[in-house]
């Protein structure tokens, strides 16, 4: 993954989101140790303190837990928490933007739904 320095999204949030995505993809499993702040710093060429901040965000959200002296591990409910968070925050924001844009373009609800269904069909063909 490449971090995007052109966005207003802080690097530590991008690190947290990358870890979440890796958990969702099954690359980090429940109760499995994840990369240390130093390994993340090495992978992404960032300050270890920035990587630690990303890890702490996930700990605060109970997606990761700490084993003293051993590092951070994936929590048992991590996938459910990530899905809930992304559904209620990310998807909601995207839907609001989509609906606003559709209204500006005078795209009605049935047309918008048809566009979503068509896009989904195209994705299934790949």
pLDDT digits (tens, 9 = 90+) for 39-94: 999 999 999 999 999 999 999 999 999 999 999 999 999 999 999 999 998 899 99
| pLDDT band of 126, cuts 50, 70, 90 | low
Bridge partners of residue 73, in order along the sequence: 33, 65
Instruction: For the chain, give the mean pLDDT.
Output: 93
**Contact between 102 and 113 (Cβ < 8 Å):** no
**Contact between 58 and 64 (Cβ < 8 Å):** yes
Positions of E strands within the chain: 64-67, 71-74
User: Above 90 in pLDDT, residue 109?
Assistant: yes
Average pLDDT over residues 26-40: 96
Q: DSSP letter for 45, please.
A: T
């Amino acid at each position: 993954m490449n971090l995007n320095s052109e966005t207003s999204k802080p690097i530590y949030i991008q690190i947290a989101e990358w870890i979440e995505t890796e958990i969702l993809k099954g690359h980090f499993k429940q109760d499995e140790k994840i990369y240390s702040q130093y390994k993340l710093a090495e992978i992404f060429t960032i300050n270890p303190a920035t990587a630690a901040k990303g890890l702490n965000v996930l700990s605060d959200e109970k997606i990761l837990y700490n084993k003293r002296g051993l590092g951070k591990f994936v929590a048992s409910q991590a996938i459910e928490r990530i899905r809930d968070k992304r559904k209620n925050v990310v998807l909601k924001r995207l839907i609001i933007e989509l609906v606003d844009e559709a209204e500006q373009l005078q795209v009605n609800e049935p047309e918008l739904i048809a566009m979503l269904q068509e896009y989904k069909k195209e994705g299934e063909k790949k």
